Amino acid sequence: MTEKIYLNILQALPEPILVVSLNQVILLANNAAHSIFSSTGEDLKGTCFSSLFVDRSAKLDDWIQKAATSSSFVSEQTELRTSRGIMPFVLNGCTVRDGKQAYVLIRLKKADAEHPTVRALSVRVNKLQQEIAMRRAAEERLQESLIELERAKKQLEQLATIDSLTGIPNRRSIDETLQREWLKAMRNAEPLAVMMIDIDHFKNYNDFYGHQAGDMCLKQVAHAIRTVLRRSTDYVGRYGGEEFLVLLTNSDSEKAKKMAEKLCDAVRHLNIPHFASRTADVVTISVGLNVITPMPKLSASLVIQQADEALYEAKRNGRNQVVLHQKPVKVNLHRKNAPQTLKLHETSAKCKSPSSRWACLFRAEM
């Protein structure tokens, strides 16, 4: 009779009451609990208490363990799945014993979402979530801006060192590369070859064919030179106007001269008509070549100066040819009080053969 009275009291209570075993199986649920969690009137007895939770967090598991071992109520706020959707509840749980058997008595109370404190906290949470979302969006935009800035920086660096017409390195890049390779060749005691290249009678070409045709001619010549250069260390740049510079690392005079001849052949084989030329009926080039092993007392500008002198000599001798710069070399002939200077002069002449219009002839005079 006493047990029935207690059960009737539990059923009559307005608050949802659950009695749960230590392994979280619902043993009893009063009418208030059924009205909240069972829309079909299905008995909650035998179901798992954990199935009511929206999210099982470590904090909630800690509350369940405390409630199962405490004789006084332990409170925790969470969200539960109800017949009317997800709702916030305050859970009050404690342990009750029936002899040696222990159970968990759980009293559920709906959380007052309209309470000023709860409402203020909800507003604050929503505001914080919005701020977090805005900051994440700003960080993403910042990251995209940094990537775009880096891309623009690389493009700017490329534009600063590349000739816009021919697509090969410009004068600024030439100066930087020459200085770097000069120091490297000095450390390694290796020869450095520099070619100064000039398109023969280019001003006449521009006047006769027009500047657009002149631009196209420059592009074709630059492409032909770049195609002939095979090694990754071979370098060509536009020195200015119709002049180009080729830089060959670790290349002696013989190898450099052969490469210069190939460049002349490649340009001539383009077969670009040049009826305004006094040298040939197609576009040709003149090459001033200088090969030098850098030393501390010398400067990188010297190799350019001497290559330019050789180019002037090639033009003076009729163009469409290669001239190798030769420096005077002092030689002691072992005669008493009679030191002599051996001067190596370089001359060049055009060949009569159509396939090879130029040659380099060398002679030594005492």
Residues taking part in catalysis: 242
Nearest 10 degrees: Cα torsion 181, 187, 189, 195? 10
Say which DSSP state 30 is in: -
Nearest 10 degrees: Cα torsion 48, 49, 54, 57? -110
Cα-based distances in Å from 205 to 76, 113, 149: 92, 88, 42
Cα-based distances in Å from 33 to 17, 90, 103, 105, 180: 6, 14, 17, 13, 85
User: In degrees, to the nearest 5, what angle opens at C-alpha 282 toward C-alphas 276 and 283?
Assistant: 85
Beta bridge partners of 103: 96
- Three-state DSSP at 241 gives coil
CB 341 within 8 A of CB 335: no
CB < 8 Å & 24+ apart, contacts of 69-77: 69/95, 70/94, 70/95, 71/95, 73/107, 77/111
